[in-house]
């Protein structure tokens, strides 16, 4: 069974641009969550989607958004990028209780 | 507010010794706890979990202990190996088996195994 797949693995963007990251959950998993990981703030919850609906959201500005498709694949978007958005963005999928993480997308904003 | 923190940011142990990584949490409503291992360049990997109605759970070479009285969680790794070197995170969820997948993570402990 394939694991959680995140694309791209690495990304470099300039300030003011927008970016879209993709996450394909484990087959059969309907819940997808996104996390931001930085050295200063650690792992922080961004949002969670289940059956195409956002059912939980963390304390991030409105520049961070996401969506989920009918096949459970999810995307997150960050608009008007800031230098502080540089981070590892992780996606996790869940079927029951255990959450499985992808390898993440390393975003660098210059 | 919600907070899950770690007492020791770095732990150095000798190969073959036992390791103990500690974690404190502040949300008494949390009912599910997980330990993750994160190696460089990889996403967090599930190690072991425990529900709040338990105080101990064992896996292969790992044991998680939960003390709800003092809101403390620990991960014990027996016979630590070089491959155990990684950052370890505790995480909490206060909706076990329910509708949310939201995890609150601790700050992480770097485990360095000396050969």
Instruction: With beta carbons under 8 A apart, name residues in chain A contacting B46.
Output: 98-100
Q: Are B111 and B11 in contact (CB under 8 A)?
A: yes
My answer on whether omega of the bond before A15 falls inside 30° of 0, hence cis, is no
DSSP state at residue A72? S
Query: What CA–CA distance (Å, rounded) separates B35 from B17?
Result: 20
Q: Tens digit of pLDDT for each residue in A41-55?
A: 889 999 999 999 998
pLDDT in tens, chain A (110 residues): 679 999 999 999 999 999 999 999 999 999 999 999 998 888 999 999 999 999 889 999 999 999 999 999 999 999 999 999 999 999 999 877 788 999 999 999 99
Q: Which of B82, B115, B86, B69 is closest to B21 using CA atoms?
A: B86
Show which of residues 51-70 on chain A sit within 8 Å of chain B, judged by CB atoms: 55-56, 58
Q: Tens digit of pLDDT for each residue in A51-68?
A: 999 988 999 999 999 999
Percent of chain A with pLDDT over 90: 86
- Given a cut of 50, the residues of chain B with pLDDT beneath it are 1-3, 5-8
Q: Are B47 and B62 in contact (CB under 8 A)?
A: yes
Q: Are A35 and A45 in contact (CB under 8 A)?
A: yes
Residue with tokens 């990889």: B42
Tokens of B55: 């105080």
Q: Tens digit of pLDDT for each residue in B12-30?
A: 999 999 999 999 987 888 8
């Amino acid at each position: 069974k394939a694991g959680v797949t995140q694309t791209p693995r690495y990304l470099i963007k300039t300030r003011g641009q927008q970016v879209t990251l993709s996450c394909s959950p484990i087959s059969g998993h309907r819940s997808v969550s996104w996390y931001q990981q930085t050295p200063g703030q650690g792992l922080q919850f961004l949002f969670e989607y289940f059956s195409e609906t956002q059912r939980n959201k963390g304390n991030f500005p409105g520049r961070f958004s996401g969506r989920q498709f009918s096949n459970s694949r999810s995307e997150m978007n960050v608009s008007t990028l800031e230098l502080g958005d540089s981070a590892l963005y992780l996606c996790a999928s869940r079927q029951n209780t255990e959450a499985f993480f992808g390898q993440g997308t390393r975003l660098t904003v210059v | 507010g919600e907070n899950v923190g770690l007492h020791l940011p770095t732990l150095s142990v000798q190969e073959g010794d036992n390791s103990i990584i500690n974690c404190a949490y502040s949300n008494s409503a949390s009912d599910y706890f997980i330990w993750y291992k994160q190696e460089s360049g990889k996403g967090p990997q599930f190690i072991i979990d425990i529900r709040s109605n338990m105080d101990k759970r064992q896996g292969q070479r790992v044991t998680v202990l939960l003390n709800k009285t003092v809101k403390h969680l620990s991960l014990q790794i027996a016979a630590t190996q070089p491959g155990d070197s990684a950052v370890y995170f505790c995480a909490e969820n206060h909706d076990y088996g329910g509708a949310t997948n939201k995890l609150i993570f601790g700050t992480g402990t770097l485990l360095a195994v000396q050969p």
